[in-house]
Chains A and B, each alone.
Chain A
């Protein structure tokens, strides 16, 4: 069974049709790359799948379950996590990275939270002392690694990466892509990777959807 199945997805803003009859599916451990020019609806699609904005039509299935109009978003987000374009903006500036990584773990009633955070940080290539650091105190690459640690902390089935490497330098981009690819394969996470960079897309994707 596909982790994510999108059927006939539609979205318009006023007269302008952004998404028209989009269909695709992603299996566990697979990475679907979505590419397209600016304004073609890549991020809109990510926001619809993440249930931040509603679709005008179509259906979204997560592990066979229709989540298009699901009211219980907490259970949906247990299985869908997202990595954002600007890593520093994806963390509350008043909270340490450790606090932010602990937030989903507490909300989803995980045990041994401190130990888990340490392991997660090591897994994404950071050291445990990053728990005390604020987003402004670390580099963009380190912040994005912390964002990945937070995203995988609840063992999601689907990881949406919305331009997750666009704000990083080339060297850091390569490291983050390597990390995402490893997590995708080892943890059998389905990854929806949105970018406008074909080079990155070819490196990470198992299949590509052009919008």
Chain B
């Protein structure tokens, strides 16, 4: 295992484990209200204090990691797989299919991503699923573009001609030769994209277009604490700090992964 990559992999692994086992790690029920204990500052019982409904902020941050990370990783998986597949098919096959799909991607790319996502999420209605769908609708284009350009380069290499002469079908060439060879750059792009996606999903939730109350989600939690920034800053700072740490870890992981794959390619 690469020394540069290992610490970030461990940190990302811890974050993912926290998200998976959130139910078992929360000190209190994140949805249980206690109006008498509302807006309690951080103390030895409620380490990060409580929100306006008296819910334990630490428990909600831990539970929010599940919602935020699962939705972000699922979204990333969807757009990277679909985008890469579309791009690789376009790049390898060329012709009318390539032209049509790339013009469609041009149309999506013409809109600012967040503005489009806000409009789409608004049209689809609130909810985490709709917010994820809105981001997926525009997010695949980047992966399609990257995969297409990589597939265009690879398809002109002699080993693709050799595979054709070996009797491998077009689908076989796509899945056995092209997709495995573009996986590295796509993986790095995806790793670098996790942070952006977390922030975009949290942004939609912050605007009230993502997770609906009482779901514990970092963006929605920040939205709830927005009006109390001066009186009870812990309500907004805790999920904000969680987003900051998570985005930083995944960005550093992406950078390290890119460095490792680049040096492998150079060698």
Contact = CB atoms under 8 A, between A and B. Distances in A.
Interface of A: 50, 52, 73-74, 77-78, 80-82, 84-86, 89-94, 100, 103-104, 107-108, 147, 150, 154
B167 A82 contact: no
B181 A80 contact: no
A91 B164 contact: no
A82 B161 contact: yes
Interface string B169-190: 0001000110011000000000
Which of B161, B163, B167, B181 has the most A CB atoms < 10 Å from its CB? Answer: B167
Q: How large is the interface on B (under 10, 10 to 19, 20 to 34, 35 or more residues)?
A: 10 to 19
B174 to A, nearest CB: 13
Given A50-B161, A77-B165, A100-B162, 12 more contacts: A80-B165, A84-B161, A90-B158, A91-B162, A92-B177, A93-B181, A94-B181, A100-B166, A107-B166, A107-B168, A107-B172, A154-B167
B167 A74 contact: yes
A73 B164 contact: yes
Contacts of A81: 165
A103 B157 CA distance: 17
B241 interface: no
A77 B164 CA distance: 8
A92 B167 contact: no
B159 interface: yes
Contact of A103 (B161, B163, B180, B181): B163
A84 B165 contact: no
10 contacts: A52-B164, A77-B164, A77-B165, A78-B167, A82-B165, A91-B162, A92-B181, A100-B166, A107-B172, A147-B162
B166 A104 contact: yes
B178 to A, nearest CB: 10
B167 A104 contact: yes
What are the 7 A-B residue pairs with the smallest beta carbon separation, nearest first? A107-B167, A104-B166, A84-B158, A90-B158, A103-B166, A77-B165, A89-B158
A170 B161 CA distance: 27
A84 B162 contact: yes
Contacts of A73: 164
B208 to A, nearest CB: 46
A108 B167 CA distance: 7
A89 B163 CA distance: 12
Which of B162, B176, B177, B180 has the most A CB atoms < 10 Å from its CB? Answer: B162
Nearest to A84: B158
Contacts of A104: 165-167
A154 B159 CA distance: 17
B259 to A, nearest CB: 19
Interface string B81-117: 0000000000000000000000000000000000000
B166 A77 contact: yes
A103 B180 CA distance: 16
B159 A92 contact: yes
Interface in B113-166: 157-159, 161-166
Contacts of A154: 167
Contacts of A89: 157-159
Contacts of B159: 89-93, 100
A152 to B, nearest CB: 12
Nearest to A93: B181
B155 to A, nearest CB: 11
B165 A50 contact: yes
B158 A86 contact: yes
Given A82-B161, A90-B158, A90-B159, A77 B180 contact: no
Contacts of A103: 163, 166-168
Contacts of B167: 74, 77-78, 103-104, 107-108, 154
Nearest to A107: B167
Contacts of A77: 164-167
Nearest to A85: B158
A77 B168 CA distance: 10
B151 to A, nearest CB: 14
A58 B123 CA distance: 59
Contact of A52 (B161, B163, B177): B161
